Amino acid sequence: MNQKIHRRDFKNDAGLLALMAKTSLENRCLITDFTNAVRAAADRIDAPVRARSTDQDLRDLPWCSIDNDRVLEADQLTVALSEGNGICRILVAVADVTELIPLGSEIDRHAFINTATVYTTGCMFPMIPERLSTDLTSLVQDADRAAIVTDMAFDDAGGLVSETIYPALVRNRASLTYSAVVPWFRGEIETPEAISAVSGLAENLLIQSRIAGLLRRSRDQSGALRFETAQGEAILDEKGNVVSLSVRERNEASAMIEEFMIAANCVAARFLMKRGYPMIRRIIPVPGCWEKFIAIAKGYRVAFPDKPDQSALSKFLFDQRTADPERFPDLSRTVIRWLGNGRYAAWRPGTVGTGHFGLAVSDYVHSTAPNRRYGDLIMQRILKAALAGEESPYPFESLAYIATHLSTRESSVSGICSESYLSAAALLMHKRIGERFRAVVTDVGDSSKKGIRVRVLSLPIEGFIKRGKTGLKTRDIVDVKLVNTDFRTGEFTFRVMR
């Protein structure tokens, strides 16, 4: 970013942040706009996917979508069906995107470059043209749409009884947001009109919530790892200026959808494995540096077994979150750093696949967001080939190359989004230079470089205490004063208050 850039040169924060985000994408060889050829290809598509003879007609069910306020693509719908005898079916409908975006088409080639929709503060860079992602290939409310449905039956303990995948015709009865659903789940408000207007939807959502709770408890018992990283989000007002910072918190509604997507993605992986189709799995291997986790636990006076133990790590995280919620985000980040983020890996039929250590599942793919993740678009093509009894459109060697590309791009996108947030936070906090905050020391290892890293407890920001002898140790709570911010680098500088 040009160091001569100034906030005063822009009408609002959104304009400045959009330019910085565009520059970040270009610096990482990502595309910031659609070519004329891509736009023309999208314009030639004049209707959504038409009903097929193989589609089951499920339009009468009380389907709904739930997502955060910012996401405009409706990739999936959910519904619960009580079968009696303690059996409940959960159906997850995923938008059929591949029908309108053939492999090798102009739109497909563009989507391959960025591999995902990039959401930065104040603007987004869609993976495919919005004419498709938010309309023709989206499960928009009150419209008939083709979908791929994952149909799962669970008993009253959350045990999976049966699973299947098939094409269907669906109709979204209510497009809901987490911000609207969560207060209702908590009993803080009356049933929102968007829910009460659909016959049976309120009762259906409560059933979905109950089943999701059973699935979550089952994964917890298997050793699923729960993290909290105090990930920040910048809020802009109607004029496009940053007015506040918030922490993205996991809530009842997002947790419910997460459980159903995990379950559906596991079904997709098993479906393809049984039929001998190569695929791209989402993995986190069993950690090879378990001694690092032993050392982390030892610092909390907790003894770990000598070999990787998912349940031991899960219990340790749960106990620390309960005992010290203020410092838990920092422990989460340390564990994630040594565990590693999830990545994509090609799987060859007949081989043993790597599981997902963090989710406590052995077979897992990404297949539920084809409008905004290219890996999901690929998986949908393979799933549809398997359903039709056709050969996979991707040989294993191609998937191996694509998996590496997806992982690399994901890292780039994550960096872009993080930079955008930090710049937005720095713009806001520049007005608060001189104020005092309580902070926790997160790392003293950088003291010879920028300084000692600290995280403010009341706001999702971190920075460095200026170099010097402070005697501070990791996990110390300290009073600091904000002395500088730099929106170009997203850096914050603090001074210790004695």
- Are residues 55 and 100 located together in one domain of the fold? yes
Taking only the tens place, the pLDDT of each residue in 65-81 is 999 887 888 999 999 99
- Are residues 309 and 352 located together in one domain of the fold? no
Taking only the tens place, the pLDDT of each residue in 93-149 is 999 999 999 999 999 999 999 999 999 998 999 999 999 999 999 999 999 999 999
Q: Is residue 40 part of a domain?
A: yes
Q: Which of 308, 340, 372 is the last residue of a domain?
A: 340
> How far apart are the C-alpha atoms of 462 and 426, rounded to whole Å?
10
Q: Which of 396, 427, 458 is the last residue of a domain?
A: 427
**Numbers of helices and strands, H then E, in the chain:** 13, 18
pLDDT of amino acid 144: 97
- Are residues 382 and 332 located together in one domain of the fold? no
Stronger pLDDT, 77 or 498, i.e. the higher one: 77
Q: Is residue 2 part of a domain?
A: no
Q: Is residue 189 part of a domain?
A: yes
Q: Is residue 444 part of a domain?
A: yes
* pTM recorded for the entire structure: 0.94
Q: Is residue 250 part of a domain?
A: yes
| pLDDT band for position 279 (cuts 50, 70, 90) | very high
Which range of residues forms the domain containing residue 477?
433-496
- Are residues 254 and 296 located together in one domain of the fold? no
- % of the chain exceeding 90 in pLDDT: 89
pLDDT of amino acid 5: 80
Handedness of CA 216, 220, 222, 225 (dihedral sign): positive
Tokens of 254: 């997002």
| pLDDT band for position 450 (cuts 50, 70, 90) | confident
Give the residue-averaged pLDDT of 52-77.
Answer: 92
| pLDDT band for position 281 (cuts 50, 70, 90) | very high
Q: Is the pLDDT of residue 447 over 90?
A: no
pLDDT of amino acid 445: 73
> How far apart are the C-alpha atoms of 384 and 373, rounded to whole Å?
17
Q: Is residue 272 part of a domain?
A: yes
- Are residues 307 and 256 located together in one domain of the fold? no
Beta-carbon-side half-sphere exposure of residue 289 (alpha carbons within 13 Å): 10
Residues 6+ apart with CB under 8 A from 453: 441, 442, 443, 444, 446, 462, 463, 464, 465
Taking only the tens place, the pLDDT of each residue in 181-194 is 999 999 999 999 99
In 10 A of CB 486, how many CB atoms? Answer: 15
Q: Using the structure block, give the residue that is written with the tokens 């990787």.
A: 308
Domain count, the chain: 3
- Are residues 245 and 362 located together in one domain of the fold? yes
Q: Is residue 266 part of a domain?
A: yes
What secondary structure letter does DSSP report for 99? T
- Are residues 382 and 309 located together in one domain of the fold? no
- Are residues 294 and 423 located together in one domain of the fold? no
In 10 A of CB 87, how many CB atoms? Answer: 14
Across the strands, what pairs with 345?
Answer: 281
> How far apart are the C-alpha atoms of 452 and 138, rounded to whole Å?
47
Question: Which of 5-9, 49-53, 165-169 reaches the highest mean pLDDT?
Answer: 165-169
Q: Is the pLDDT of residue 165 over 60?
A: yes
- Are residues 85 and 227 located together in one domain of the fold? yes
Q: Is residue 1 part of a domain?
A: no
- Are residues 438 and 416 located together in one domain of the fold? no
Beta-carbon-side half-sphere exposure of residue 469 (alpha carbons within 13 Å): 0
pLDDT of amino acid 52: 86
| pLDDT band for position 468 (cuts 50, 70, 90) | low
Q: Which of 409, 427, 445 is the last residue of a domain?
A: 427
- Are residues 273 and 394 located together in one domain of the fold? yes
pLDDT of amino acid 449: 63
Taking only the tens place, the pLDDT of each residue in 206-242 is 999 999 999 999 999 999 999 988 889 999 999 999 9
- Are residues 449 and 315 located together in one domain of the fold? no
